[in-house]
Amino acid sequence: MEKIKLVVEGKELEVPKGTTLGEVFKELGIKDAVGALLEGELVDLQTPLRRGGKVKPLFRGDEEALPIMRHSLAHVMAQALKELYGPAKVRLGVGPDTEEGFFYDVEVEGRTITEEELKKIEEKMREIVKRDYPIVRKELTREEAKELFKKLGERYKLELIDEIPEGEPVSVYEQGGFVDLCKGPHLPSTGKAGAFKLTAVSGAYWKGDASGPQLTRIYGMAYWDEEKLNERLKFYEEVKRRDHRRLGKELEFFTIENEVGPGLVLWLPRGALYRKVLEDYLREEHLKRGYQLAYTPHVGRAELWKRSGHLEHYKENMFPPMQLDEEEYYVKPMNCPFHITIYKTRPRSYRELPFKLFELGTVYRYELSGVLHGLLRVRGFTQDDAHIVCTPEQVNDVIRETLEFALQVLRDFGFEEFKLYLSTRPEDAIGSDEQWELSQKALEEAVKASGYEYEVDEGGGAFYGPKIDVKVKDAIGRLWQLSTIQFDFNLPERFDMTYVGPDNKLHRPYMIHRALLGSIERFTGILLEHHAGLLPFWLSPTQVAVLPVADRHHDYARRLAELLTAEGFRAEADLSGERLGAKIRKAELTKVPVVLVVGDREQESGTVSVRTKKEGSLGSMSLEELIKYLNELQRSRR
Amino acid sequence: MEKIKLVVEGKELEVPKGTTLGEVFKELGIKDAVGALLEGELVDLQTPLRRGGKVKPLFRGDEEALPIMRHSLAHVMAQALKELYGPAKVRLGVGPDTEEGFFYDVEVEGRTITEEELKKIEEKMREIVKRDYPIVRKELTREEAKELFKKLGERYKLELIDEIPEGEPVSVYEQGGFVDLCKGPHLPSTGKAGAFKLTAVSGAYWKGDASGPQLTRIYGMAYWDEEKLNERLKFYEEVKRRDHRRLGKELEFFTIENEVGPGLVLWLPRGALYRKVLEDYLREEHLKRGYQLAYTPHVGRAELWKRSGHLEHYKENMFPPMQLDEEEYYVKPMNCPFHITIYKTRPRSYRELPFKLFELGTVYRYELSGVLHGLLRVRGFTQDDAHIVCTPEQVNDVIRETLEFALQVLRDFGFEEFKLYLSTRPEDAIGSDEQWELSQKALEEAVKASGYEYEVDEGGGAFYGPKIDVKVKDAIGRLWQLSTIQFDFNLPERFDMTYVGPDNKLHRPYMIHRALLGSIERFTGILLEHHAGLLPFWLSPTQVAVLPVADRHHDYARRLAELLTAEGFRAEADLSGERLGAKIRKAELTKVPVVLVVGDREQESGTVSVRTKKEGSLGSMSLEELIKYLNELQRSRR
């Protein structure tokens, strides 16, 4: 019999090929292992060994063994479903482990599994874990397997058997009478499972095909210990609480309606007012820094997209063409060709450079409807897009200023932690060595000068130029990519962009694409989640709500709101005549940052009683104090 | 012989059918007539009469005879061309009279007629007029006519002969050997022509068919006397001087590029800055008046346009569809369905009405490329669009406020003369009597309250509701339609819009579409022409140019510009190092309203020397005086 060599915890040994690690560990007196790494690959104790190598036994609590445990819990869940709803009623799809747990796609005849049933399924799973069934692996011939799953009525499994490549073993795992087609690896027994919780149900198409049958996906989360599990569950509760789709509805910021089209955002009045404040801010900040403005159309002739190369390289991301006057037109996926056209309306002198053109440009890109997600992934969005055209001598200053600008803007929105990523020249790049060196040096110096943590992705740049990406860390530790500063050595060639140098000759300029927020839609989604809907004072659609205690305080409340409006704040008096409690709740729900309650005392003394969402009650203030306080909030962008 | 009855200057007479008015007038001793009105129809003296009636002889100087004279001048021009370039080289198309003159479409073999040649052609025309050729009418058979024009090589005329309906006479007019196929009417002789001038040449397709041969259209203007002609020529020079297409280029406001597409506007930096100021103003003015903002997508599902009725009634004005995910999407020709969708995101209470939703909404509409004209007729434009949803009780106040708002906005842009048009219920209208009465009464009252001149177009309203249009008179007396306030009884039904009334029941609201400027693009074209490019101070992209006399004044100039920028003005120091004269010319060309020249004297005394485009030199000012002056300009919107 053929032998293989193993090295287990430093000990060398030879065993017959086909021995399992369970047998080996027993021989060596290694107890309670739940799996192992064989030359770095995760394996279980039940599978006959086909090759030798270094073996590291894994035990409960080992991070590396989590996938095994999670995968076994998927089986435990499947078994629980069969016990609850009857084995003949439950048909199984696929049930893998995931980053933090597992899921199983299932079909339960005659019913839809709802969130309410998860508790019950979970209880049944705990029972099965407690029963501590050994998990047994068996290899079958294809015919045996087919016969087995046919008998079980598992039509999805039959499809999967057909997909197992010729020559690979067909294995099943059995536990307490429940058998599942599976490659493994699995725990030695159900009792070895860790802490878990079922978290959600959703629809899932069989094999992701929307025209095929729809199954129910049941999600679970699993860690070795309760503490870690609870910490992660709390994180996801927090993620849910901050979900911008819910907040966007509550705050009346935006809506996406099927009749209009998936991924197409309608900004509701409060969201639109916030967006106006944001856009005003962006335009002013750009003008201050010497940018010029542009407005360009949302459609353009195919000609333009042919020249830019988008039709060649980017067509699948574009909306389909419109046939007009025997020509094709496209809605724009990018603003670049328009900005370049503006640059080219007349010859440019080096004295005009750097030429910095800014547009809040609304673009449309095709995304599969399945990946659309609130504001975070949409089909139409507005970029805070600029193109900078400059001489080689200006590249350093331009990049440093641009990165500083990006970081300043992100800080103004309340982000404090940043991580920068520098992507450099890939294998099959265009552009000269000189261009790449000059650009990469400028990017690297700017990144270093910023003082923030950064990573270099060597060779990770686009074929047409290197870039910096800025990621922000949000209030619950998630990283989001926002700003990009991207060199482009391609479009200046394609569009034959030039400038007249001091030598009176034509030169090719450097061009940089950059967006600071990326898209207003996506940024707003992230901002809402970061602040859990409580936007900084300067960005809130309503900044101050004036709530009269009773009808007799309406005049005073209205006058206050008018006074604050005249001072430049967005203030509203609630004259609805509802009870004070209801008015306060409404202001709470729409997350108005500053609430002024005015009753007899305030009216008589000409004061206000101030409550803020962030700092709670600030007591009584005179109008002068109030205005000073509000101006300070506005100025500090808190 | 059949007789016909005529009444000439009160005198009744009978003449044989086929007699000409020339013969009749000679008989009656009426001298120097150039044509006549027969029962109100313009006729000449050469054509045999086929019917009787009241005859009014027309003489030189008679307004009503202008078309005859202009038509004859077209023939004179054709004859001049034949004499100048050789009869065999010139082929004639059509040559009618126009509102102020005439044109002829011609083909001159082997050459293109340019503006430079007009003088020469004009001289030849004066010669022919002086020769005073009698203009003789002849009727031919179709065969004779064909043979004649075949011999002359007039292939376009041959086509025209074929188009003369069976039974109509085929007539030609002959003068001094030149013969032309023509229905008339014409002067008795070339010497009766009035004052004229050739004004322009352009390309013109034969029968307007772009795939057919291209001819040259030569335009002339003609009046009876030189004075009137010169007045009108001056007016057209003024129109030319104010042409927003030329101004838009000089001021670097916008460009329309073939590669992007006809009718699609790119706003250049200076135009974009002006547009930003305009948009900021519009948003603020709307917010002040209780409007709420919206941003909506530029594309939407066919579903939406089906429901709104646009696909049924407006499809030919829409861009063609895009095929996406097996559905059709359209770029929007209007914002209404989106605004209604926003209204409908949740139930609305009467307490929220009037609900006034404002968007600077960019729409796309199909126009034939031939009618596109600068900014005045485009394919993509941004409307200052609002929809007002209100209760019947609110209709009066809403309409009055809206009209006042419109007029205030137009005054702020420097328009002073307005004419209002009220269009009322047409025959085949939808909506109840009550709706029409209430709406029309509100519109009429608002129009009367405005104090401006107005006209009622009885029955001229759209089938879905009555409206007010506001026209402005520009600086050279032209009327332009700008604001529209339009009721809509249709869409609230189609989209089932409702509000909850005080009775807690659902009611159908009134809805009003309104745009004050119409479209930003078209309005900007009109505004540029109205102000001949010299925009009011508050709208100028650069408001103040600071021009240092020499390099040693650069620091002072820069500090001044910074100071003014900090005060909220758009100020620029020209540090180009060019000579003062060149700097002044540049500021002149870009029509900067306020220019500050600073030299030794100003620098030492901390003053500025102020020149304005409108008032000329204002002499020396201290900085305090300057800022006060600029603030006054800004405040008064002059």
Q: Which residues of A touch B255 (CB under 8 A)?
A: 341-342, 345
Which residues lie closer than 8 Å to B354 by C-beta, 6 or more apart? B290, B388, B389, B390, B391, B394, B398
Distance CA A394, CA B408 (A): 47
Contact map slice: B 407-426 vs A, CB within 8 A: none
Q: Is B35 helix (H, G, I), strand (E, B) or coil?
A: strand
Give the H or E element holding residue B572. strand B571-573
pLDDT score at B401: 97
Tens digits of residue pLDDT in A618-635: 999 999 999 999 999 999
Of B320, B324, B576, the CB nearest to A324: B320
Q: Which residues of B touch A355 (CB under 8 A)?
A: none
pLDDT at B1 over 80: no
> Mean pLDDT over all residues of chain B?
95
Place of tokens 């995101």: B345
CB contact under 8 A, B266 and A321: no
pLDDT at B112 over 90: no
CB contact under 8 A, A266 and B294: yes
User: Any chain A CB within 8 A of the CB of B622?
Assistant: no
Shortest CA gap B24–chain A (Å): 56
Q: Which residues of A touch B333 (CB under 8 A)?
A: none
Q: What is the CA radius of gyration of chain A?
A: 31
CB contact under 8 A, A301 and B260: yes
Tell me how many residue pairs between chain A and chain B have CB atoms under 8 A apart.
160
> Mean pLDDT over all residues of chain A?
95
The mean per-residue pLDDT over the stretch B198-208 comes to 91
Q: Is A35 helix (H, G, I), strand (E, B) or coil?
A: strand
Shortest CA gap A179–chain B (Å): 40
Q: How far is CA B598 from CA B579, B585, B608, in A?
A: 13, 16, 6
Of B295, B322, B345, the CB nearest to A322: B322
The mean per-residue pLDDT over the stretch A168-182 comes to 94
Query: Which pLDDT band, with edges at 50, 70 and 90, does B588 fall under?
Result: very high
Query: Which pLDDT band, with edges at 50, 70 and 90, does A166 fall under?
Result: confident
Tens digits of residue pLDDT in B395-434: 999 999 999 999 999 999 999 999 999 999 999 999 999 9
Of B266, B283, B369, the CB nearest to A325: B369
User: Any chain B CB within 8 A of the CB of A316?
Assistant: no
Is A336 a residue of the active site? Answer: yes
Contact map slice: A 111-150 vs B, CB within 8 A: none
Q: With left for phi above 0 and alpha for psi between -120 and 50, is residue A322 left, alpha or beta? A: beta
Nearest to A294 by CA among A389, A378, A195: A389
The mean per-residue pLDDT over the stretch B286-299 comes to 97
pLDDT score at A296: 98
* Domains annotated on chain B, with CATH: 3-59 (3.10.20.30), 68-241 (3.30.980.10), 273-296+335-529 (3.30.930.10), 537-636 (3.40.50.800)
CB contact under 8 A, A293 and B345: no
Query: Which pLDDT band, with edges at 50, 70 and 90, does B208 fall under?
Result: confident
Residue A162's Cβ-side half-sphere holds a number of Cα atoms within 13 Å equal to 6
Is A531 a residue of the active site? Answer: no
Distance CA A537, CA A534 (A): 9
The mean per-residue pLDDT over the stretch A326-337 comes to 96
CB contact under 8 A, A380 and B299: yes
Contact map slice: B 344-383 vs A, CB within 8 A: 345, 351, 357, 359, 362, 364, 366, 369, 380
Q: Which residues of A touch B359 (CB under 8 A)?
A: 272
Which residues lie closer than 8 Å to B106 by C-beta, 6 or more apart? B78, B81, B90, B91, B92, B93, B113, B215, B216, B217, B218
Distance CA B318, CA A286 (A): 35
Q: Are A260 and B297 in contact (CB under 8 A)?
A: yes
Shortest CA gap B478–chain A (Å): 29
Select which of A217, A244, A387, A514 is catalytic: A387
Is A530 a residue of the active site? Answer: no
Q: Are A280 and B279 in contact (CB under 8 A)?
A: no
Of A296, A319, A576, the CB nearest to B324: A319
Q: How far is CA B64 from CA B40, B49, B58, B415, in A?
A: 10, 20, 7, 34
pLDDT score at A429: 93
Tens digits of residue pLDDT in A125-160: 999 999 999 999 999 999 999 999 999 999 999 999
The mean per-residue pLDDT over the stretch A406-422 comes to 97
